[in-house]
Structure 1
Amino acid sequence: MTMTAYHTHRQAGKVAADTLNRRHFLKLSAGAAGVAALPLSFGVSAHNHKSAGAVGLQLYTLRDWMAVSVPATLKMVAAVGYQELEFAGYYNHKPSEIKKIIDGEGLSAPSAHTPLTDFEGGVNKVIDSALEVGHKYVVLPYLTEEQRGSTIDVYKNLAENMNQWGEACNKAGLTLAYHNHDFEFIQTDGEIPYHVLLEETQKDLVAMEMDLYWMVKANKDPLAYFKKYPGRFKLWHVKDMDSAGEFADVGTGTIDFAPLFARASQAGVEHYFVERDKTQDKMATLIQGQKAVAALL
């Protein structure tokens, strides 16, 4: 996911007008109502799974739908069986409005992605919005190429800033986290940026959101990180990879999730979010992801 996408979120009304017409909106609303009306015997209903944890969804997966109608999209998500949400923008809705919508659907939103520029603009504003919605975690999701720079000092400075932001979050009852891609594993000035972030942030102030797809994409073993840094990985993005190294619906690709979920306690994970950055069939992705993760919990 890119920072461009987050800027796009902030102009959701324009995006909706340009890319999704009223016909699409009506289809989405009808689809949400239709799924909500399905009986409890429907194969993906959350009531059919006696799991040790809730199945969550990173809403970046549904960014096009969210741009059209947040209420209709979240109604559909709840009907499929998801219980938790991770936001990636509020789509011109106030935090109080988001809170009302998720409460109305019986959902919770323990986490939200918040761009670096928002933290730099003032962490207190980030905290206020998060508390109003009911988030527990605020996650730094991505660094643009410009923000990454070309030296390891960029990550050392980021770690220092994250400790400060994390302390402010901690005082407010929140936890700051960092979400990885694969670029954090490219050696820079003889060091691995991801290791710098792990080593130079305080574990009681900064957690990590491990994206399992990007870890595998970077040829890294999540289990090795769970062992070396136990308890640090409070959030996961459960995202699968096809044989060509591209995105796949969870449980249909090449990543063996069972050994990872077996070490969830060591990792320290509290919330699991299904995600697929690009998908041609959003509903199929939703249903398959919910079913696959519920079976693993």
Structure 2
Amino acid sequence: MKKAVQQIMLGTVTKNEKQTAETLRRIRAAGYDGIELNGFMVKPTSFLVRMLTKAAGMPVGKGGSYDWNALVKEAGLCVTSIHEDLGTIRREPETVAKEAEAFGTKYVVITGMYRFDYSDKAAVQGLCRDLNTSGKILKEAGIELLYHNHNCEFLHVEPQKTAYDLLLSETDPEYVNFELDSYWPTEAGVDALALMKKLDTRMKLYHINDRGTRLLKPAMTPILKSDSMELGCGNMNLDALIAQAKNVNVDAVILESHKNWVDNSPLRSLEVSAQFLNARI
């Protein structure tokens, strides 16, 4: 089971190719085996995408013109997977498949849809059909399609059914499987371990993060809101979650923390989290 880092963490430490090479070297030195890339960070992207990610506190950096294939290989890392948006996959499935093949990965991952109503049952059912269609096309090219969740998928489409329930029941496991991010269901009040067990072997990759509060002064009542934390520094039952990921033989455990980094440094943060992961994987 590989250990990897999600590229979205690295925008502030990949401002030029020299810095990017050093960042990747430190990732490898910390004990990680790979990196999960984003299509919008390894090729030129629109101004809107760059502004949206920056507004979310995760700037994409200037890596669209770098030779990521060479940089990753020189650092001794592999590419576990690559994130792409559904629109690009539907328009250019052959291009997406070739991109994944060039990076040496069999996984293309779709993240939650932007400005999509996950409480609309008909809309979610339509999304399931689109995922099945795209997954089938990619599989014919030797690539597997995975769906990555945030918290919006846990909105209810019926009193006892969430959008995520529909995604699980109405996608074909032959063509669509999952990269579970346990932080987001926890944030939505959902039992992440129970969800993992429900996914079973359809969980091919596991996104890991911790959730807690970094107090810089005495706590007020009520306590400050929870946020992303380094692994082992929060309150999630990560040992049980990692054990379940091992039970179903996921291909990689991928760290993705969201700003709020110790020392305000994504590199220092991922090195702290590596100590936790290295003791368990």
* TM interval, short-chain normalised: 0.7 to 0.9
Q: Unmatched 5+ residue regions in structure 2?
A: 43-62, 214-224
Structure 1 residue 192: Cα displacement: 1.1
Structure 1 residue 150: Cα displacement: 5.6
Question: What TM-score do you get using the length of structure 1 for normalisation?
Answer: 0.76
**SS of corresponding position for 1:167:** helix
**SS of corresponding position for 2:146:** strand
Query: Out of 122, 131, 137, which is 1:153 matched to?
Result: 122
Q: Answer yes or no: is 1:64 the counterpart of 2:12.
A: yes
1:217-263 per-residue CA deviation (whole Å, 9 max, x = no partner) reads 11112222233332011111110101432111111111111111222
Alignment of 1:64-83 (within 5 A): 64-69=12-17, 70-83=20-33
Show the counterpart of 2:237: 256
Q: For residues 220 and 55 of structure 1, what CA distance do their matches in structure 2 show? A: 25
Are the counterparts in 2 of residues 178 and 207 from structure 1 also a CA contact under 8 Å?
yes
Q: Answer yes or no: is 1:111 the counterpart of 2:81.
A: yes
Alignment of 1:1-297 (within 5 A): 53-69=1-17, 70-88=20-38, 89-90=41-42, 91-93=63-65, 97-145=67-115, 147-148=116-117, 151-190=120-159, 191-243=161-213, 244-278=225-259, 279=261, 280-297=264-281
Give the % identical residues. 26
Show the counterpart of 2:59: none
Residues 282, 122 of structure 1: CA spacing in aligned structure 2 closer, same or farther, 3 A cutoff?
same
Question: What TM-score do you get using the length of structure 2 for normalisation?
Answer: 0.80
Residues 221, 228 of structure 1: CA spacing in aligned structure 2 closer, same or farther, 3 A cutoff?
same
User: Comparing 110-119 with 63-72, which one deviates more in the overlay?
Assistant: 63-72
Q: For residues 246 and 74 of structure 2, what CA distance do their matches in structure 1 show? A: 31
Q: For residues 286 and 240 of structure 1, what CA distance do their matches in structure 2 show? A: 12
Q: How large is the Cα RMSD of the aligned pairs?
A: 1.9
Structure 1 residue 80: Cα displacement: 2.3
Q: Unmatched 5+ residue regions in structure 1?
A: 1-52
| Greater fraction strand | 2
Paired residue total: 242
Q: For residues 252 and 179 of structure 2, what CA distance do their matches in structure 1 show? A: 9
Q: For residues 265 and 284 of structure 1, what CA distance do their matches in structure 2 show? A: 26
**SS of corresponding position for 2:109:** strand
Q: For residues 100 and 253 of structure 1, what CA distance do their matches in structure 2 show? A: 36
